[in-house]
Amino acid sequence: MPTTTSRAHVALRESILRGELVPGAHLGEVEIADRLGVSRTPVREALSRLAAEGLVEVLPHRGARVVSFSTADLDGIFDVRLALEPQATGRAAARVTAADLDALDDLAHRMVAVGAPGPEQDLDALVPLNRDFHARLLDVADAPALSTALANVVHTPVVLRTFHAYDAASLARSLAHHVEMVAALRVGDADWASAVMRSHIGNARAVMVTR
């Protein structure tokens, strides 16, 4: 049976991901405890968990608030991704091994399975699979400088919110991109692989950056 802390954590997390608690919103322990019908202790513990996930930031003497990324922040993130990830994906086409292709193909199809519409859909499960897919691509590309630069801009909260913000068509495109990237890598076509990655990032950007 879920603990009070777990229930508070799930309730707050879902409110953040659904946009009910908007970026920058103050998260007062007393108000949240009253709304959820629990004491302040499980709320405090739930906020700590959310901070560890990167969805909440706890500020000294000011309490907690939902992490926010401005349009400029998101633009910067996607600019860097567009500059670096297609390049890395193209490099991977000349270096990928059969074992790499098997691993990437498995991750791509697992994402399609867990992201498919229906009662079994699990958007949260997409995040580690997506992370492992992109990390494997960077490993294959063997470009430490690109990997370091991307690690500084690819934030888990942004990725998590992106999956929850997708409509059905955008999510289907995103998942199909992973499968198509593997197909391009399998035939060693760097231009094709790079182009799919550009489309993949553009699809996410269209959802996350409102102008």
In angstroms, the CA 63 to CA 51 distance is 12
Residue in 138, 74, 127 with CA at minimum distance from that of residue 104: 138
- pLDDT at position 156 is 67
How does pLDDT run across 105-148, given as a tens digit for each residue? 999 999 999 999 999 999 989 988 998 999 999 999 999 988 88
How does pLDDT run across 157-168, given as a tens digit for each residue? 777 778 888 999
Sequence ranges of the domains in the chain: 4-66, 71-208
4-66 shares its CATH topology with 71-208: no
Which CATH fold topology does 4-66 show? Arc Repressor Mutant, subunit A (1.10.10)
In angstroms, the CA 132 to CA 126 distance is 10
| Contact residues for 15 (Cβ-Cβ < 8 A; gap 6+) | 21
Tokens standing for residue 87: 């390049």
The whole-model pTM stands at: 0.76
- pLDDT at position 107 is 98
pLDDT at 211 over 60: no
pLDDT band at residue 71, thresholds of 50, 70 and 90?
A: confident
User: What is the architecture of the domain spanning 71-208?
Assistant: Up-down Bundle (1.20)
> Under DSSP, is residue 100 helix (H, G, I), strand (E, B) or coil?
helix
